[in-house]
Amino acid sequence: MKKGKLLLALVIVLTFLGGIYTGIQFSSNEPQKKTMKTGKVPQSVINPQTKELPLVEKVHSKVVIGYIQDYRDPNQVDYSQLTHVIFSFAHPTKDGGILLNGNSALKNLRTTVAKAKKSHTKVILAVGGWFHINGGESYPYFKAAISNPVSRSKLVNELTSLADRENLNGIDIDFEHPHSKEDAVNLAAFVKQLSVQLHSKKKELSVAVNAKINAATLTESGYVQYEPSMFNDVDHVNIMAYDGQWDDGYNAANLSPYPFTEKIVNYWSQLFEGQNISKEKLVLGVPFYAQPKDPKIKQVSYGAIINQNPANANRDTVNMNGTTYYYNGAATMKKKTRLALDHGFGGMMIWELGLDAKGPDSLTSSISDTIDKSANSPVKYYTVVKAQ
């Protein structure tokens, strides 16, 4: 028994001594690390170049399109909350030419493009509008321009050339309004021709349309006519769901109440479903101004209403200037945005950005935040479209 224990002890000691010897041998065979000398680090013969960040396209789940008038200061717009800004207006001439409101409008357009680009927001130029630069309504000028194939082609080429020259992302057509079957056919022909040119250059085409619902009766209006096939050729259909105060006698309360908007959304939803056109093209327009009960008093901006009292943000009426004003406050804007999203619309349109309030009571923020938080709307993301 004692002899066995001695042998075990001897084995342990030999194993221990063997380990020490192996360690010493390993250390002696390991190459010695050189001590780094201090001094000037040699410079690379290759000079690194600073590369531009890739160009990215903002991809929102839904569009937020804001019109801005040509006399507004483009530096005051928060482009980060918009997918598109529509600069308004270029004016058609009867022979198919286009006019801008002088050098100031062109300067503002160029500033808008430069500012929007920093936020990856698209800039579109609107042609038409209600009033013409040469006086009176725009309708007779636009009607003449698109009724003749020669002037129609000229207008298409002029707009395409301007979009190229000023680095625009597209054109918006605001023909107010086609009153006959002939108008509707000519407008559709103009849209198709312009669509071919713009889309070949990867630019967008939108069209502003009348709400088609009478605000007083909440029934379809025949005052304006469209060729439904026309909507296949555009990217966005901006529904002007406001100015109902003029329907069947003046009533300021009919500017753009929620029941009126519900009827509009249902009408356009059914039209597009019946024509098998994607409802993603539909964009619900909302007003950023207030209509006075007394028609002799001018409209006021939502911003002016908030400047008087921030508590007005969640109201739809206010007493100012000796009259009652009707408008859409933040709560109504959020409700309308959810209505559009629930019906599969592509987003929201604003008339007009210069009328908004600044800061936390901004209606643009109310719309944008509602879209972002909607359960039916995926999170925004960005995609690289061109590596530098």
User: What pLDDT is attached to residue 36?
Assistant: 38
Q: Write the burial class of residue 387 (CB in 10 Å: 0-12 exposed, 13-18 middle, 19+ buried).
A: exposed
What residue numbers bound the domain in which 193 lies?
Answer: 56-289+328-377
- The answer to whether residue 118 is domain-embedded is yes
Q: Across residues 111-135, what is the average pLDDT? A: 97
- The answer to whether residue 362 is domain-embedded is yes
- The answer to whether residue 22 is domain-embedded is no
Q: pLDDT tens digits for 57-108?
A: 545 579 999 999 999 999 999 999 999 999 999 999 999 999 999 999 999 9
Which helix (H) or strand (E) segment holds residue 86: the answer is strand 84-92
Report the relative pairing of strands 317-320 and 170-174 from DSSP bridges: unpaired
Structural contact between residues 239 and 285, judged by C-beta atoms closer than 8 angstroms = yes
- The answer to whether residue 300 is domain-embedded is no
- The answer to whether residue 281 is domain-embedded is yes
Least-confidence region, from 90-94, 225-229, 256-260, 294-298: 294-298
- The answer to whether residue 369 is domain-embedded is yes
Q: Across residues 21-32, what is the average pLDDT? A: 42
pTM over 0.85: no
Least-confidence region, from 202-206, 218-222, 305-309, 382-386: 382-386
* Residue appearing with tokens 């309708």: 139
Which CATH number covers residue 365? Answer: 3.20.20.80
Least-confidence region, from 1-15, 49-63, 164-178, 221-235: 1-15
Q: Which two tokens stand for residue 363?
A: 């209606």
- The answer to whether residue 363 is domain-embedded is yes
Residue 378: pLDDT over 80: no
- The answer to whether residue 75 is domain-embedded is yes
Which residues, 6+ apart, have CB-to-CB distance to 234 below 8 Å? 191, 195, 205, 206, 207, 281
Alpha carbon distance 176, 62 (integer Å)? 26
User: What pLDDT is attached to residue 129?
Assistant: 97
Number of domains in the chain: 1
Alpha carbon distance 64, 121 (integer Å)? 10
Residue 160: pLDDT over 60: yes
Cα dihedral 265, 269, 270, 272 sign: positive
DSSP3 helix / strand / coil % (the chain, rounded to 5): 45, 20, 35
